[in-house]
Structure 1
Amino acid sequence: MRIISGTLKGRRFSPPKSFSARPTTDIARESLFNVLNNRVDFDELSVLDLFGGTGSISYEFASRGCTNVTTVELNYKHFSFIKSMIKEFGLDDDIQVIKADAFKYIKKCNLQYDLVFADPPFDLKDFESIPDRFFENTLLKTDGTFILEHSDKMSFEQHSRFTEVKKYGKVHFSFFM
Structure 2
Amino acid sequence: MTRIIAGAAGSLTLAVPRSGTRPTSDRVREAIFSALAARDAIEGAAVLDLYAGSGALGLEAASRGAAEVVLVERAKGAADVCRRNADAVGRALRGRPARVRVVPRAVASYLESAAGTFDLVLIDPPYELGERALAHDLALLAPLLSPDAVVVVERSSRSPEPDWPEGIVADRRRDHGETTLWWAARTQPELPSQPA
What does residue 12 of structure 2 align with?
Answer: 11
TM-score, normalised on structure 2? 0.82
- Output aligned runs, 1:3-152, within 5 Å: 3-16=4-17, 18-90=18-90, 93-124=98-129, 126-127=130-131, 129-131=133-135, 133-136=137-140, 137-152=142-157
Tell me how far 1:157 sits from its aligned partner.
Answer: 7.4
Change (3 A) 1:159 1:43: closer
How far did residue 163 of structure 1 move? 1.4
Cα distance in structure 1, aligned partners of 2:133 and 2:20: 23
Q: Distance in 1 between matches of 2:59 and 2:98?
A: 12
How many residue pairs match? The answer is 175
Partner of 1:53, secondary structure, is coil
Output the amino acid matched with 2:181.
F
In the alignment, structure 1 segments of 5+ residues that lack a partner are: none
CA distance 1:159–1:80, change in 2 (3 Å) = closer
With the length of structure 1 as denominator, give the TM-score of the two structures. 0.90
Alpha-carbon offset, residue 172 of structure 1:
1.0
Query: Rg bigger for which structure?
Result: 2
Distance 2:133 2:171 in 1: 17
Q: Is the alpha carbon distance of 1:44 and 1:88 closer, same or farther for their aligned partners in structure 2, counting shifts above 3 Å?
A: closer
Query: Which ranges in structure 2 are unaligned for 5 or more consecutive residues?
Result: 92-96, 186-196
CA RMSD between the two structures: 1.9
Structure 1 moving runs of 4+ over 4 Å = 157-160
